[in-house]
């Protein structure tokens, strides 16, 4: 039986399963940046992101961060809980990089005095504009309680991931996460969804500052797969199948 595609994103597809409360998340090899202005297929990126995201979601789940991951089904597929995605990209920044440096004219690599959370609307046509908590409430993208829950989890995830990466000599510069509403019995819980991988984080080697993330693609630095494999190997993820 061919499975029905429910959603096609830039780097992933979501398929229906027999259970209404579960989906299959399929990781593609597509790499995009600057809202698809730059697009390439990078062989085996999807497999690496599937494995790295599984590792991170399992670690977060074991540390009381509820999330959508259920189990890996194949090298590119994972079974996940079906959620209603909140259309907001939650970005957590420890060090100035990327669009933040351009926006404020700050040098890349500068430590921020405090961890910063930003929100971007998921809206490719308008280049994912930066939005405030007030925008989220006024437009109805998220309620006050949802926003507080997302912020609480975002800080906790930052602490947990910063510690995890520090142990393997990697600095967590910034990352993007997405949340969803998981419904049961007319009630919902906010849970972490989507993926966390070198596509959605900035990861710098602590000794050399070498970039081990999607900036290798955004900035034409080459060696993306080698960098993702380096992250996976340091996390002790089994790569024998790829
Ligand atoms: P930015 O500096 O480009 O705004 O990105 C901040 C972090 O969020 C960085 O780790 C990359 C990640 N990110 C995504 O995963 N998807 C996106 O669409 C954007 C804009 C950023
Ligand atoms: N939103 C970007 C894109 O066009 C992704 C990124 O730069 O991370 O794919």
Ranges of each domain in the chain: 5-81, 86-223
Q: Which ligand is nearest to the CA of 202?
A: 1
Position in ligand 1 atom list of the atom nearest CA 98 = 2
* Predicted pLDDT of residue 36: 83
Fold held by 5-81: Phosphorylase Kinase; domain 1 (3.30.200)
Position in ligand 1 atom list of the atom nearest CA 214 = 11
| Separation CA 58–CA 98 (nearest Å) | 28
How many angstroms separate the alpha carbon of residue 70 from the centre of ligand 1?
Answer: 25
Q: Is 10 in the pocket of ligand 2 (CB under 6 A)?
A: yes
Pocket test for ligand 2, best of 9, 31, 34 (most atoms within 8 A of CB): 34
201-219 pLDDT per residue, tens: 999 999 999 999 999 999 9
pLDDT along the chain (242 residues), means of 10: 88 97 98 92 98 98 98 98 98 98 97 98 95 98 98 98 98 99 96 98 98 98 98 97 80
How many angstroms separate the alpha carbon of residue 214 from the centre of ligand 2?
Answer: 9
Radius of gyration of the chain (CA): 17
Instruction: Specify the DSSP element, H or E, that contains 110.
Output: none
| Separation CA 211–CA 197 (nearest Å) | 14
* Predicted pLDDT of residue 1: 55
- Token digits for 26? 């399929």
The answer to whether the beta carbons of residues 172 and 211 sit under 8 Å apart is: no
In sequence order, which residues have a C-beta less than 8 Å from that of residue 107 and are 6 or more positions away? Answer: 96, 101
How many angstroms separate the alpha carbon of residue 185 from the centre of ligand 1?
Answer: 34
* Predicted pLDDT of residue 182: 98
* Predicted pLDDT of residue 174: 99
* Predicted pLDDT of residue 158: 99
In this chain, the answer to whether the domains covering 5-81 and 86-223 adopt an identical fold is no
How many of the other CB atoms lie within 10 Å of CB of 131? 20
* Predicted pLDDT of residue 3: 85
| Separation CA 61–CA 69 (nearest Å) | 9
Largest CA distance in the chain: 54
How many angstroms separate the alpha carbon of residue 68 from the centre of ligand 2?
Answer: 22
The answer to whether the beta carbons of residues 30 and 8 sit under 8 Å apart is: no
What is the CATH number assigned to the segment(s) 86-223? 3.30.470.20
How many angstroms separate the alpha carbon of residue 23 from the centre of ligand 1?
Answer: 25
Position in ligand 2 atom list of the atom nearest CA 37 = 4
How many angstroms separate the alpha carbon of residue 33 from the centre of ligand 2?
Answer: 4
Strand 170-184 and strand 187-193: the pairing is antiparallel
Q: How many CA atoms lie within 13 A of 216 on its CB side?
A: 20
Task: Kindly report the average pLDDT of the chain as a whole number.
Answer: 97
The answer to whether the beta carbons of residues 65 and 56 sit under 8 Å apart is: no
Pocket lining for ligand 1, CB < 6 angstroms: 89, 91, 97-100, 128, 174-176, 200-202
Q: Which ligand is nearest to the CA of 213?
A: 1
Q: Which amino acid residue places its CA nearest to atom 6 of ligand 2?
A: 33
For residue 34, give Cα distances in angstroms to 213, 221, 237: 15, 16, 30
How many angstroms separate the alpha carbon of residue 11 from the centre of ligand 2?
Answer: 10
Q: pTM above 0.95? A: yes
């Amino acid at each position: 039986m061919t499975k029905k595609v429910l959603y096609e994103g830039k780097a992933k597809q979501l398929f229906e399963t027999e259970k209404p409360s579960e989906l299959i998340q399929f990781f593609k090899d597509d790499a995009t940046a600057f809202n698809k202005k730059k697009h390439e297929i990078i062989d085996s990126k999807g497999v690496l992101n599937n494995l790295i995201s599984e590792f991170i979601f399992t670690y977060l789940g074991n540390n009381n961060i509820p999330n959508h991951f259920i189990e890996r089904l194949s090298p590119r597929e994972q079974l996940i809980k079906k959620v209603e995605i909140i259309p907001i990209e939650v970005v957590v920044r420890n060090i100035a990089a990327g669009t933040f440096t351009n926006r404020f004219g700050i040098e890349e690599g500068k430590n921020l005095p405090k961890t910063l959370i930003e929100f971007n609307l998921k809206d490719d046509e308008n280049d994912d504009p930066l939005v405030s908590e007030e925008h989220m409430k006024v437009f109805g993208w998220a309620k006050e309680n949802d926003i507080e829950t997302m912020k609480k989890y975002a800080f906790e995830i930052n602490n947990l991931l910063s510690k995890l990466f520090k142990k393997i000599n990697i600095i967590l510069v910034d990352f993007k996460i997405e949340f969803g509403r998981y419904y049961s019995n007319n009630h919902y819980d906010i849970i972490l969804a989507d993926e966390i991988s070198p596509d959605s984080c900035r990861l710098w080697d602590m000794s050399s500052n070498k970039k081990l993330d999607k900036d290798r693609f955004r900035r034409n630095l080459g060696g993306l797969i080698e960098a993702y494999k380096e992250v996976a190997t340091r996390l002790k993820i089994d790569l024998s199948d790829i």
